[in-house]
Structures are given as C-alpha cells and as structure tokens.
Structure 1
C-alpha cells in the first residue's frame, strides 16, 4: 500500500535509498535531524548524526558495501502538516544479489520513520527497524496454531 505523500517526503526517502546505495554514511546521516534517534534491526540505538554516520561507516565499507535498500510496501501518514510517519516493509539487497528486484525473506524488515519539516526541509527525526518474522510463519507459530485446534 502506498499513500500519496508530499513530494518532498518522497524525495527524502529516495535520497536515503541513494545514500545507502552509494555507501555514503555521512550523506545518509545528514538526512537525519541533529538529535535524531535511530534504532537498528538488532536493537542498537544511535543518537544524532555523528553516531548514525559512525554506525553506518563500517557497514558500508564491509558487509553492506554495494547493497541497496528496496521498499516492498509503504504507507505515509501525516498527523499534522509538518510531521510524516512512514511505515514500510523493506529490505537490503546484497551486492551479490544484483539481479534481485525484491529482498529475500530473511532480509525483510518493517520500519517506522518519523519525518519533521522545518521550513521547507524535511529530516528524519526517528527511525525504528524490526526484522519481519510473522509469528504464524515460524515453526513454533505453526505448531502452536495446530495444537490450539
């Protein structure tokens, strides 16, 4: 599901994807507010642009080098004119998966991104990333569902 969003919001989301693809941790962090909070899929919390850049630099130089973000679905909600809440299912396509159009199931995450507008500029103020593992699709979930019948 995609909700119509302000073009500048979509531009910011596209810029985040471009910075990731380019492996540019400083440019990626610059799209975040000075006091942004960033929670990675493993629970690591980074606060502020410098921590976000420092946290992504080794990733972009190492395992994530040449990877790209791929959005599977996105919903944008505007609680007020200067705030956008983006919930999306997305994932990383690794450099050795060049021919893939969508991320593999093990790379899928659901993330929530809060954007704020200050004048004409939108920035990320908060980001939370959670690996996508629906309970009903896990072995334990399937077993528990069968036992409950």
Structure 2
C-alpha cells in the first residue's frame, strides 16, 4: 500500500470514529476528532470556533433534540493538498431516535479539511450544507443565466 493510500485509510478511520462518537452521544469524544482551533459551520450557517465550543454545542444537541440520533455518512472524495493536509467531501444524514430511517430531504454534504498533527489526523475545518433541489426561484434564475441557443434557419 502506498504512503498516500495508508494516510487516506487513516483519515477514513478517523471519519468512522467521528460517526461512532456521534452515535454514542459523546460530545467530548466527537469534538476530540477536531483540532483545538477548529472552524465548524453547521447546516444552518452557525459558526462554531474551537474544540470546546464544539463539544458544548453538541452536548446541548445530544441532551436535547438529537438525543439518541444516529449519524450515517460516507466519504465521497478525499484529496491530499499536502502530505499532512487533506480535503474531504462526505455525505451524511441524521436519523432521529423515533425514525425508522432518515428522510432523504435531510441529506447533507460536508466539506472538511484534515491535518496531521503529531502522527494523528484531526479535522480543522467543517462546512455542512443541506442537499436540496432548487426551488422555483432558483430554477427561474438558472433559466435566465443559461445562454439562449439561436434556432437554426
């Protein structure tokens, strides 16, 4: 296995650890997968800065509305920007404790930056965006921006 493949496997293992911590409702362990100075942007646009703030925000969620929730996710792409820096795209969805399966409308895509520090991969940036089809206004704007093709005569 190449060095890059070995590092990619280590990052994927770290992602699995992240999912496990979420599914256990362990906010401290979840936050420990991130750097001390993490920038974490949630699906609603809220920006959490720092590992401790991340742990506190997630503990409130795990104690409240997301108690017993399950995070299901997968790495869609992973690209090294430097030997110790990687860009990762994942897709995931949260199943709430009373749901048999997660609604498709809640799928999100995440952009993450991982850094290797003292031999361990940590996530230092996280951006979560809900995947949703364009609404009527967005479809109208896309039509306006698409160049019109002249009819052949």
What TM bracket, shorter-length normalisation? Answer: 0.7 to 0.9
Aligned to 1:61: 63
Unaligned runs of 5+ in 1: none
Aligned to 2:45: 43
Quote how far apart the aligned CAs of 1:119 are: 2.9
Distance in 2 of aligned mates of 1:140 and 1:71: 30
Aligned to 1:76: 78
Q: TM-score, length-normalised on structure 2?
A: 0.82
Distance in 2 of aligned mates of 1:124 and 1:73: 14
Runs of 4+ in 1 over 2 A off after TM superposition: 138-149
Secondary structure in 2 matching 1:11: helix
Query: In the TM superposition, what whole-angstrom CA distance separates every residue of 1:61-114 from its partner, at most 9, and x where no partner exists?
Result: 11111111112561111111111111122111111124x2xx322211111011
Matched, 1:86 2:88: yes
Aligned to 1:52: 54
Residues matched between the structures, number? 141
Aligned to 1:10: 12
Q: TM-score, length-normalised on structure 1?
A: 0.84
Unaligned runs of 5+ in 2: 149-153
